[in-house]
Amino acid sequence: MSNHESSPNDTSTGYPRKPQILARESVARSRLFHIESLDLRFSNGEERQFERLTGADRGAVMIIAMPDPEHVLLIREYAAGFEDYVLTLPKGLVDPGEDIVTAANRELMEECGFGAHRIEPLVELSLAPNYMRHRMQVLMATDLYPKRLPGDEPEPLIVETHAIEELPALLLREDFHEARAIAALYIARDKLREEKRNNAMNLL
């Protein structure tokens, strides 16, 4: 068979059919997490058991807040998974009844002490999709103004301002390693560079 021919298991898109879920079982549940076991049968007849981590499915937001066109706000918070403080972007869950823009503005006020007159969706990111179905909506916030809302953090967060063009230097730090924050900042940096190029071309 040539590389361009479809096997009986392929759909019109060229991808195999999704596995059939034979059984699903709740393995463990805590205040935040739910572990679920899935018995799957793949299109070639192979059967496997997968485990995945599910949550409240409310959605989550991560905010690239820019006090000026060259800088971004980062927060330093305690990460229980690493038992240490890490540097990352402000983020949080979408509360019931909120859209992602409202949630992003609220989290920005709670964690950084700023609101934003302009918030626009940038990209959707996932993390470890083999084990979680969690999705993070990344939004860019500009035209900031001082505004503080009480949050649920156990201690005040430290807010730092960093130049978005200095990402390589940030990556050399031991406390800056969250993959979603790194990806979001590079995507935002490239978007800003493209906008600057387009603006420069329009002036010619």
Residues 19-78: tens digit of each pLDDT: 999 999 999 998 878 899 999 999 999 999 999 988 667 789 999 999 999 999 999 999
Question: Using alpha carbons only, what angle is made at residue 70 by residues 107 and 106, rounded to the nearest 5 degrees?
Answer: 10
Average pLDDT over residues 152-160: 93
Confidence of residue 203 (pLDDT cuts 50, 70, 90): confident
DSSP bridge pairs for 93: 60
Whole-number mean pLDDT of the chain?
90
| CB neighbour list of residue 48: distance below 8 Å, 6 or more residues apart | 39, 40, 42
Of 7, 5, 131, 145, the C-alpha closest to 67 is: 145
| CB neighbour list of residue 38: distance below 8 Å, 6 or more residues apart | 21, 23, 24, 49, 50, 51, 52
- CATH number, domain 60-203, options 3.90.79.10, 3.40.50.300, 3.30.420.610, 3.40.640.10: 3.90.79.10
> Would you state the structure tokens that stand for residue 150, as one six-digit string?
């009480």
Position of tokens 């940096």?
Answer: 189
Query: Using an 8 Å Cβ cutoff, are 137 and 97 in contact?
Result: no
* 129-144 b/e (C-beta count within 10 Å ≥ 16 → b): eeeeebebbbbbbeeb
Confidence of residue 1 (pLDDT cuts 50, 70, 90): very low
Question: Using alpha carbons only, what angle is made at residue 30 by residues 94 and 150, rounded to the nearest 5 degrees?
Answer: 40
The pLDDT of residue 103 is above 60: yes
Q: Which of 20-29, 106-115, 138-147 has the weakest average pLDDT?
A: 20-29
Average pLDDT over residues 66-91: 96
Provide the whole-model pTM: 0.86
The pLDDT of residue 131 is above 50: yes
The pLDDT of residue 169 is above 90: yes
SS3 189: helix
50 vs 8 pLDDT, higher one? 50
> What is the percent of the chain where pLDDT is above 90?
75
Distance CA 121, CA 73 (A): 17
The pLDDT of residue 10 is above 60: no
